[in-house]
Structure 1
Amino acid sequence: MKLKYLLILFLLPILLISSCKREEDRIFDTNATVRITEAVQNAYTVLQGNKAGWMMKFYPSKNQEFGGYTIFTKFISNEKVSIASDPIAGVETSSYAVVAESGPVLTFNGYNKSIHWFSEPGMDNGGVVGDGGIGPDDSGMQGDFEFILLKATADSVVLKGKKTGSHLVMLPLKNEEFESLSKTYQEATNKFNQFLVYKLETPGSEVVNLDFDPRYRVFSNPNDQATGTMSFRVIPGALEFYKEYIIEGKSFDRLNYVQPTSAYPNGYYTDKSNAIKIVPATAPLNIWFRNNLWSMSYSNTGPTGKIYWDRAKTALKTNGIVVNNAFIGKLTSNIGLIYVLQNGAVVGGVSHFIDPVKGTEDQIYIELEGYVIGNFPIAYWTGGINNITTPFNGRTFKITSDGTPNPTALTLTDIGIPTNTYKVFLKDINDPFNN
């Protein structure tokens, strides 16, 4: 009997400890749920508490290879948010939520171009800054639209992208800054996007064209690989860089805009010492041609080209194919000869290499690449369209214009066949076989 009671006495503390532990676990679980619920409610309160709205610097990719942007938000209720960003015109209202996961998560769950553009596939995100899709076809700029809320107070909201892990800070706006600042940033972006070429001037080196793709907010100096790429945001009156960079011993993280002078008709961006200058320049004709979409027509084609257009017209009529417009150049991320057919039912064509000739500003080389663009059936190619392409394939053209910056009409003359000429226009020409 004593052994029995001794066993009971021995086991009793263990049972009591186990019972207490289970009770503590239940209390802990309840507290965790309460804490997350309170954090979600606090986030709603903070986000809506600043009626003027919020602004954040946004580098969509964790590696900053696409550069940076500025996003403005105004949280109207528990469901609605107005968003503006510098590359997208205007303001759009959509839905959002703060949801409980392992912690509170801010999700922009209703489509809004001003933020979802950064997460769209590259095949879909073109046409905003005027120069094609950005990033890989399947992932685009890889930006976030769902963020873990790390901190939410009246002076700042700290976020962490669920996909990229990048940290972002939303800062409070004042008064009417949501409307006025977002518009000012958009205007600054439009002004920056007018130029396709930027040059670097420094005291110790010759002027060089920076490596710059108009789709990306990134510069790199072809003569200075050590500095690497320089990511930046376009802000009113300046370029603000992701971090401090050094060129020829001069460090900078911001270059302020200087208004045009006789020496710099487009103005320039410079550091405090005026030693580093990034100068916007009018695009050479071959780059201007490559980065736009140009209308073609029979009447503006030279004698050699007309031979092929005549063959095309006969074949297209036989095959019941109607050509409403004919273009050459760039449409979003696609480059080549592109058509509107069957009264708009078909828009597409076949890709071409359109490459500026190295060492020139007015020569372009064109060659068939062969990828289908848009909803273009290959039967349309063999049904007559291929004839229009033939006199372009494997040819180098000299480009001339009226001499004005960013001309709206250009003339292409084949260097090897002077009668192979084309005058092309930025404006649309309808019914190209009869115009």
Structure 2
Amino acid sequence: MKLKYLIVLILLPFLLVTSCKRDEDRIFDTNATVRITEAVEKTYTVLQANKAGWIMKFYPSNNQEFGGYTLFSKFISNAEVTVASDPFSGSQTSSYSVSPESGPVLTFNGYNKNIHWFSEPGKDNGGIGADDSGMRGDFEFIVLNASADSVVLKGKKSGSYLVMLPLKDGEFETESKAYQEAAAKFKQFGVFNLETKDGEVVPMGYSPKIRVFTNPLDQAAKEMAFRVVPDGLEFYEEYTMAGTSFDHLNYIEPTSAYPYGYYSDKGNTFKIVPDVTPINLWFKTNLWSMSYSNVGPTGQVYWNNARTKLNANGITLNNMYIGNAGVEVVYYVLQNGAVEGAVGHNITLVPGTIDQVRITFTGSLYNVVGFSAAYWTGGLNEFTTPLNGRTFKITADELSEPSSVLLTDIATPTNTFRVFLKDINDPLNN
């Protein structure tokens, strides 16, 4: 009997400690839940309290290789938000939520092109970034702090830190419009030259879809990421070029010597001089959809041959493109999307022109999904004959970044191709 009591006495302190620990755990869990719930409610309150809205500098990739953009948001209720961003005109209202995870998470859960464009695959966003990941932007953000002065966010996917700052009354409309107009003006430029204080002019390359400059005087220098702002360009950090450090360049309005204006540092020690994109360069750097009804009489002979061979070999052609898909190719979508691939075709700018290219078959085969030489010899090769080794003059109704262009063979004017940036399905019957 005494032994039994002794055992009970020995175990009693342990049981009491264990019992207390369970009670403490329950209290802690409850407090954590309450704290997260309160943080979520506070985030909703802060976001909506500023009726004028918020502005945010947004670099979608965590290493800034696509440059920066400016986003505006106005949180109308616990469910709706209006978003504007400088790549697009106007604004769009969609849904959002703040959900409890390890902390509050702000999610733009209803599709809104003004923010989801940065996370779309490259094949959907106009060819920026990889086909599967695009610019790798976020639309889900961990809320690190929310106050009337700022909302500090961390991209859930990228890990990038961002800050939303409050706007004043009417600024959502006026500021977003000013940024969008500045971005639209900048977008028309596809060629930039660096002019040093000594008068040296050095090409800076071509980068129409991303907001990053390379330093033509130092190939090893870090790329310079920037946002387009109403008075010029604002850079992600301080950079040095042509012996000058800067983090902002002012836009100087056009003159007779600089018909498109230029961007310069405060001391005007160098100029970045823009020019509109030559139409042959615009063609070379995009991917264009092709179709039978938009091919001239010379080319249609070969397209008819292709149709006959493809039908005989049980091959369905769903889409066909020419241009830049990471490399210069003619790209095919076959068998209702089950097969995709391309064959190399160099597109060479004709020196001394802004509107001529020469297209040359390279023979390189690119297997994307199940593509092989059998498809090429099964009829696709017929498409290349009216393209290979020929020089084309390019014309368009729009001078800057047209969505459709006409290629006319200089040696054989009946050999023409009208191509489009939008997709054309079933190209052999359209």
Short-chain TM bin: 0.7 to 0.9
Q: How does 1:45-124 map to 2 (within 5 A)?
A: 45-124=45-124
Distance 1:10 1:426 in 2: 88
Unaligned stretches of 5+ residues in structure 1: 127-132, 340-347
Kindly tell me: are residues 314 and 17 of structure 1, through their superposed partners in 2, closer, same or farther at Cα, counting changes over 3 Å? closer
Mapped pair 1:37 → 2:37: yes
Distance 1:9 1:172 in 2: 64
Kindly tell me: are residues 412 and 210 of structure 1, through their superposed partners in 2, closer, same or farther at Cα, counting changes over 3 Å? farther
Conserved? CA contact 2:154–2:161, under 8 Å: yes
1:225: how far off? 1.7
Other-structure match for 2:138 = 144
Choose from 356, 378, 382 the match for 2:348: 356
Kindly tell me: are residues 295 and 75 of structure 1, through their superposed partners in 2, closer, same or farther at Cα, counting changes over 3 Å? same
SS at 1:90 equivalent = coil
Choose from 374, 384, 389 the match for 2:384: 389
Conserved? CA contact 2:323–2:347, under 8 Å: no
Conserved? CA contact 1:409–1:423, under 8 Å: no
1:26: how far off? 2.2
Q: Aligned Cα RMSD in Å?
A: 4.6
Percent identity of the aligned residues? 56
TM-score normalised by structure 2 residue count: 0.79
Distance 1:108 1:281 in 2: 37
Other-structure match for 2:337 = none
SS at 2:125 equivalent = coil
Whichever residue aligns with residue 100 of structure 1, its letter is P
Unaligned stretches of 5+ residues in structure 2: 333-339
Choose from 190, 195, 198 the match for 1:201: 195
SS at 2:384 equivalent = helix
Tell which deviates more after alignment, 254-263 or 8-17. 8-17
Distance 2:415 2:76 in 1: 54
Choose from 232, 239, 243 the match for 2:237: 243
Distance 1:140 1:220 in 2: 20
Q: How does 1:32-431 map to 2 (within 5 A)?
A: 32-126=32-126, 133-204=127-198, 206-291=200-285, 306=298, 308-313=299-304, 353-357=345-349, 361=353, 362-367=356-361, 387-393=382-388, 395=389, 397=391, 399=393, 406=400, 412-413=408-409, 418-419=411-412
Tell which deviates more after alignment, 61-70 or 351-360. 351-360
Deviations 1:176-198 (A, max 9, x none): 11122212211111111112111
Conserved? CA contact 1:351–1:373, under 8 Å: no
Tell which deviates more after alignment, 171-180 or 13-22. 13-22
TM-score normalised by structure 1 residue count: 0.78
Kindly tell me: are residues 92 and 123 of structure 1, through their superposed partners in 2, closer, same or farther at Cα, counting changes over 3 Å? same
Deviations 1:53-75 (A, max 9, x none): 11101111111111111111111
Kindly tell me: are residues 425 and 310 of structure 1, through their superposed partners in 2, closer, same or farther at Cα, counting changes over 3 Å? closer
Distance 2:294 2:28 in 1: 81
The number of residues matched between the two structures is: 418
Distance 1:205 1:239 in 2: 22
1:221: how far off? 2.6
Whichever residue aligns with residue 390 of structure 1, its letter is T
Distance 2:238 2:43 in 1: 33
Other-structure match for 2:336 = none
SS at 1:160 equivalent = strand
Whichever residue aligns with residue 83 of structure 1, its letter is V
1:154: how far off? 0.4
Tell which deviates more after alignment, 80-89 or 32-41. 80-89
Deviations 1:320-369 (A, max 9, x none): 9xx9x998657x98966699xxxxxxxx9966535334865454344366
SS at 1:138 equivalent = coil
Kindly tell me: are residues 6 and 73 of structure 1, through their superposed partners in 2, closer, same or farther at Cα, counting changes over 3 Å? same
Other-structure match for 1:345 = none
